A and B are shown apart, each in its own frame.
Chain A
Amino acid sequence: MKIDKRRRRGQLWLRIRRNWQLYALLFLPVLWLLVFRYAPMYGAQIAFRQYSPMFGIEGSPWIGLANFERFYNSPKFEPVIINTVVLSFYSLLVFPIPIILALSINQIRSRLFRSSVQMITYAPHFISTVVIVGMLFQFMHPRVGFTAALANMLGQTPPNWMGDPGAFRHIFVWSGVWQEMGFNAIIYLAVLTTIDPALHEAAVVDGASRLQRIRYIDIPGLIPTAMVLLVLSTGRVLEISFEKVYLMQTPLNLNVSEVINTYVYKVGLLSPVLDFSYSTAIGLLKGLVGLLLMITVNNAARRLTDNSVW
């Protein structure tokens, strides 16, 4: 047995040595990973310290959960958390739209029509966030925008939607739908091509209508992919919104548009008194919430549809 073990270990070592050139290829990527992704995770411990640049990360005194308590007790806590969660879930709610689009495009026989619809609907994906938000401001400008022209035509006073706290979430989510639905439909369309044509043929023979075939063949075929994508986007939904939310913020809508990410940025890098520890603590909290959200949705998906990421 002893010999066996030694031999196995020897073989392992041999395999490692034989592949040394593969490890050489991996060296820089792993080094990068350690420096730019794992060193920050180590540095995140300042959330539990009173960080001061003079003492550095390890030298600053431990203060336990004081930073978290401070956030919990601050008047910002409730609105920031609520805004983040509401905006996140609202963004998730529209996830069936690309599926509907894909199902609908999939029904079209004319190649030209089908590819034109696809080309056009996913073009906005390539427009940058700054430009999208710039367009929103321009279109909803209370003096020169579309909305102003429309309101004038109807004899109403032009609305200032970009400054309207009640409109912020709708504008945020629906402009996102406008920009991304075509692009997100791509995956579903690709999955639809993998559905066995024999199923459809059999259904046609049995006299199923198109709607019935969508209902009983196409949609069940899409559900596994939809669930995986839904779970993945739950994990990231607290993350990606920063760029757009930050751009859409105006002093007027701040009470609904201040989310964790923008608050972390302002506390950590923008305020006159930079509070690295406090900001890191809030960021860490967000990371944990994101992870929890993802696990919850994953479990729900597994229970409801038997599909999950893990």
Chain B
Amino acid sequence: MSLMPSYESNINQVNESAVDRIFMLGNTAFLLIITVIVLLPLIFVVSASFSSAEAVIAGKVTLWPVDFSLLGYETIFEHNKVWNGFANSLFYTFFGTLFNVTMTICAAYPLSRQDLVGRRIITFAFIFTMLFSGGLIPTFMVVRDLGLLNTRWAMILPTGIGPFNLLIAITFFRTTIPPELHEAARIDGASDFRIFRSIILPLARPIIAVLTLFYAVNTHWNTYFQALIYLKDQDLFPLQLVLREILIQNSIDASMLIDIEDLVAREGLRDLLKYSLIVVASVPVMLLYPFVQQHFVKGMTLGSVK
């Protein structure tokens, strides 16, 4: 990560005063503590998910799996509801993000063009939705009247364009594509469609990556609100709603626990299951994130430097 300024290396680091050395020591300690605080719960969850049900319920697990076992994972993978939720979430995330990114890019490019008449008003119309909205019920009524309730469309269409993401994209186009480029292409006889397809889209790869990430993680994979309001049919539920049933409402299908005779072990499995489920639900995004973190940082930065 090359986020940091490198002024430290330019400045003579030979003679640090005692005050500075003490400060740095305290600072390092502070960061170590913060890191441990963030890391501990995560390590605990992973360790617990690989432990035996008895060890989990007895509270023996701390930072390392106790009585290593995959029982939690095996139970989850036999459970259709979780699989189904997983598949649904993949579906919504893939098609939803495709829709979001296409719409955002199609709106952002024209709105970044200084010569577009009405640019300000249209941009404002989008940004205004950040400040004020019709509210839950009126939006619900629109979705209902369009006949989208309890369909997969309800998970995709209403998400559309996030105003913040639109702003980032407009800023990107404005700062990376010089107006002369349009004029040159125009003089060469290219139409706007042609410019968009052959010049803009190839140049837009970084912003497309950022938007894909923002929408996929924040709008689709990790949310449940949309599904909670618009979906009734269990078969359409995304993973997060299934997780909510199991993790929060504590309703675990008895069939998942049926093989276990012993009551205590059954209770233990209940908890073990939750830990395994937490890991399974978070792994896809976590796997993605080392590869895309640079883009995330870029996107956040773009958004802030207006």
Contact = CB atoms under 8 A, between A and B. Distances in A.
Contacts of A118: 1, 3
A219 interface: no
Given A115-B1, A280-B137, A130 B248 contact: yes
B7 interface: yes
Nearest to B13: A109
B271 A144 contact: yes
Interface string B115-147: 111000010011001111111111111100010
15 contacts: A29-B161, A41-B132, A43-B138, A118-B3, A123-B38, A131-B243, A134-B274, A138-B274, A186-B297, A236-B130, A261-B136, A268-B136, A269-B229, A280-B138, A287-B133
Tell me whether chain A's interface is mostly helix, strand or loop, or mixed: helix
Contact of B240 (A24, A128, A181): A128
Contacts of A120: 35, 38-39
Interface residues of A, number: 105
A71 interface: no
Nearest to B12: A204
Contact of A193 (B3, B8, B115, B281): B3
A107 B30 CA distance: 12
Given A43-B142, A130-B248, A269-B140, A33 B3 contact: no
Interface of B: 1, 3-8, 10-13, 17, 19-20, 23-24, 27-28, 30-31, 34-35, 37-39, 41-42, 44-45, 56-57, 59, 103-104, 106-107, 109-111, 113, 115-117, 122, 125-126, 129-142, 146, 157-158, 160-161, 191-193, 196, 217, 221-225, 229, 240, 243-244, 247-248, 271, 274-275, 277-278, 281-282, 285-286, 289-290, 293, 296-297, 300-301, 304
Interface stretch (A15-23, A84-92, A165-173): A15-23
Given A189-B4, A291-B131, A135 B59 contact: no
Tell me whether chain B's interface is mostly helix, strand or loop, or mixed: helix
B137 A117 contact: no
A40 B45 CA distance: 42
A98 B201 CA distance: 35
A123 B304 contact: no
